[in-house]
Amino acid sequence: MGRVFVWLIAGTSLLTFAPRPAMSEPRYAIAMQGEPALPADYKHFDYVNPDAPKGGSITYCVVGSFDNLNPFILKSLRTTARGMMDLNYGNLVFEPLMQRNYDEPFGLYGLIAETADMDPERKSIEFHLNPNARWSDGQPVTPEDVLFTYDVFTEKGRPPYSDRMSMIAKLEKTGDHSVKFTFNDKANREFPLIIALTPIIPKHAFDKETFDRTTLKPLIGSGPYTVAQISPGQRIVFKRNPDYWARDLPVKRGFDNYDQITIEYFLNANAKLEAFKKGLCAVNDDTDPVRRERDLDFPAFHKGEVIAETFDTGIPPVVTGFLFNTRLPKFADPVVRRALGMLYDFEWANKNLFGGKYSRTMSYWQNSELSALGHPADDREKALLAPYPGRVPPDVMDGTWHPPVTDGSGQDRKVLKAAFDLLKGAGYRIENGSMLDPEGKPFGFEILTASQDEERLASIYQRTLEKIGIAVTIRGLEADQIQARKQRYDFEALIGSSGFSNSLSPGIEQLGRWGSVAARTEGSFNLAGVADPAVDAAIEAMLQARTKENYVAAVRVLDRLLISGNYMVPMQYNTQQWVAYWNYLEHPKKTPIFGYQLPTWWRKVN
């Protein structure tokens, strides 16, 4: 066995230790709750076609721009090229130690790490790297690469990668192909899985001194593709690495089926749609059922050259809505936010814009056992909320809460009056048709929008707010401009979401979305600026839960607190995913609970 390196946080020195024997047998997979869904001898994930043909090319299209290839730094965080590490298109260049199975709530299977040895108390985890793992330049993946990754992420990386060493007491090389993490008291029971999902980068290919600078130089990773061509802001082309080390592993069978992947950038959604109609883009997704029918009225669809399909998912829908920047004094009072939340006329919008095909979003984990809706708070939840009396109204506590239902006319006076009464109770008044705050200043705000669709929704909200004297302006920005404003929290209100996606296994990502520390961290996803010790406590209880009952209780408490805090005005959802695609593409028959997975699709063989 080679030298053993130990890396200690808090400025302590590099030491040498003898490796300690493992406390349990190394596992091919680990799960957040219970056992992994697949057996040790699994051949591939259930939602792939292991015999999918390889070859051909595909072009994906996105709205926005890019000026950077490094997805791990704060600069250009939201304008980094898609595909380098991507939830939609796959981790084309950079990979984590273990791969997520998207057909179970939270199960991870060996990739760079062939196996993992996790302490039953989850105080440590040792990864045994696959000796065949290689970077795209042919050099082996080593424990030193893992050590370097955490070193450079801590000093030069962006959240959440930069924060992870704060929960690690010791990081050590324990063998030629093994590395062990020992956690401190700040860590939680999910954290070993988060470590397993952290992407690893090559020590020999990065300069720590310049790591935090943007770059358009093709980067070396361990993934199935390499960067072949770049047109800054317009196009990035990936080519399959014929020597990809993991192509025959069970965890990768049926994935990465194209020889070339191109991602084209467009200034707006209309330009992207026209490119799809012309055949430049292979797929097009849309959440608006009325617009789908309208946009499909073109020759290629009528000829059967373009296919439209819906996919059912088993996860809670992403919460989208008008999000308030509560760092600003005008949005600091939850009573004011509650009144504003009453004034989105979902019934009118659903009838006039969405053909009645949407449902109202009311919970952050809607349609799941994690939701507070329909579930009165049990003793576990009451105990968690006991130190924070009055945070949750009675109707949210007993699970009966529901946003106001209008008559759909766009003129429902009873809802307007109820919202005004709340504002009046908070010291607001109307003079000469204008709403004045308790200091006598006109009350209003600006909504940032990034598309015509967002502007249309903002206009509906604006129209209702103006009926009680609240002056709302709407400002449309290009995608890169709005992303820059988000990064520095330079906005009053915008149409946002509760995160990239939702799941049946919420975990440490909730700290980044709702935690007090994230509210003060530039570039975090806590856009609303939520800084509530009750929310922090609920997330901590969720992360430390050892039983499913305690876990569900903690998530429901978090749901109740977010509903009660009125940080967003949730709009609507449809649980089905809709996508149109050109008929040269095929996909597996099975759809996992997280929905369709583009990295498993392939191009038909002529």
For residue 7, the model assigns a pLDDT of: 40
Classify residue 348: in a domain, yes or no. Answer: yes
For residue 290, the model assigns a pLDDT of: 73
For residue 24, the model assigns a pLDDT of: 58
Listed in sequence order, the DSSP H helices in 231-288 are 269-277
Q: What is the mean pLDDT of residues 334-339?
A: 96
| Residue 262 buriedness (CB in 10 A; 0-12 / 13-18 / 19+) | buried
For residue 76, the model assigns a pLDDT of: 78
Classify residue 349: in a domain, yes or no. Answer: yes
For residue 498, the model assigns a pLDDT of: 58
Instruction: Name the domain count of the chain.
Output: 1
pLDDT for 153 beyond 60:
yes
Classify residue 379: in a domain, yes or no. Answer: yes
Greatest mean pLDDT among 17-31, 72-86, 146-160, 400-414 lies in: 146-160
Q: What is the mean pLDDT of residues 393-420?
A: 93
What is the rounded distance in angstroms from the CA atom of residue 198 to the CA atom of residue 374? 36
For residue 496, the model assigns a pLDDT of: 83
- Higher pLDDT, residue 279 or 268: 279
CATH of the domain at 345: 3.10.105.10
pLDDT tens-digit profile of 32-67?
Answer: 988 999 999 999 999 999 999 999 999 999 999 999
Nearest to 567 by CA among 360, 339, 325, 316: 325
For residue 13, the model assigns a pLDDT of: 30
- For residues 331 and 324, is the Cβ–Cβ distance under 8 A? yes
Classify residue 450: in a domain, yes or no. Answer: yes
Domain holding 539, by residue range, is 320-573
Secondary structure E strands in 540-590: 568-570, 572-573, 577-582, 585-586
What is the rounded distance in angstroms from the CA atom of residue 547 to the CA atom of residue 220? 41
What is the rounded distance in angstroms from the CA atom of residue 545 to the CA atom of residue 552? 9
pLDDT tens-digit profile of 61-108?
Answer: 999 999 999 999 988 777 899 999 999 999 999 999 999 999 999 999
For residue 154, the model assigns a pLDDT of: 96
What is the rounded distance in angstroms from the CA atom of residue 234 to the CA atom of residue 52? 30
Classify residue 267: in a domain, yes or no. Answer: no
- For residues 584 and 53, is the Cβ–Cβ distance under 8 A? no
pLDDT for 502 beyond 80:
no
For residue 8, the model assigns a pLDDT of: 38
Q: Which residue has the tokens 């952050």?
A: 364
Q: What is the mean pLDDT of the chain?
A: 92
Classify residue 69: in a domain, yes or no. Answer: no
Classify residue 261: in a domain, yes or no. Answer: no
Classify residue 344: in a domain, yes or no. Answer: yes
pLDDT for 599 beyond 60:
yes
- Higher pLDDT, residue 288 or 129: 129
pLDDT tens-digit profile of 276-290?
Answer: 999 999 999 987 777
Task: Give pTM, 2 decimals.
Answer: 0.76
